Structure 1
Amino acid sequence: MTGPDDAHQRPAGVSDATVEALGRLSEALEAVEVARGHLYAFHRLSGTADLTLGDAVAKLRHAGHTDLADRIARELVGRNVLAGRWTFQVVEEYDDGYYADFRELEQLARDELVEGRRHLYEAEMKEDRRTPGEDGHAAKPADI
Structure 2
Amino acid sequence: MTDRQGPDEEHRRPEGVGDKTVEALGSLSKALETVERARGHLYSFHQLTGTADLELDRAVELLREAGHAVWAERVETEILGRNVIPGHWTFQIVEAYDGTYYRAFRELEQEAVRELADGRGHLYEAEMKEARRTRGHRDHTARPDSPGTRGPARPFD
Percent identity of equivalent pairs: 62
1:19 is aligned with what amino acid?
V
Q: CA deviation at 1:108?
A: 1.1
Give the deviation of 1:97 after TM superposition: 1.3
Q: Which residue of 2 aligns with 1:15?
A: 18
Q: Structure 2 stretches of 5 or more lacking a match?
A: 150-157
Residue from 62, 80, 84 that aligns with 2:87: 84
For the pair 1:26 / 2:63, whether they are aligned, the reply is: no
- Tell me the alpha carbon deviations over residues 113-138 of structure 1, each in whole angstroms, 9 at most, x when there is no partner: 00111100000000000001112101
Tell me the distance in 2 between the aligned counterparts of 1:34 and 1:28. Answer: 10
Q: Deviations over 1:54-113 (max 9, x none)?
A: 211111011110011101110000000011000000001111110000001101111110
1:139 counterpart letter in structure 2: A
Q: CA deviation at 1:31?
A: 0.2
Q: Name structure 1 gaps, 5 residues minimum.
A: none
Partner of 1:62: 65
Q: Deviation per CA, 1:22-51, whole angstroms, max 9, x where unpaired?
A: 000000000000000000000000000000
Normalising by structure 2, what TM-score? 0.90
Structure 1 residues 99-110: aligned runs within 5 Å: 99-110=102-113
CA RMSD of aligned residues (A): 0.6
Instruction: Kindly indicate whether residue 125 of structure 2 is the aligned counterpart of residue 112 of structure 1.
Output: no
Using the alignment, how far apart are the partners of 1:55 and 1:43 within structure 2?
20
- Partner of residue 51, structure 2: 48
Aligned to 1:95: 98
TM-score between both structures, scaled by the size of structure 1: 0.98
Count the aligned residue pairs: 144
Q: What amino acid is the match of 1:21?
A: A
Higher helix share: 1
How far, CA to CA, are the matches of 2:62 and 2:29 in structure 1?
49
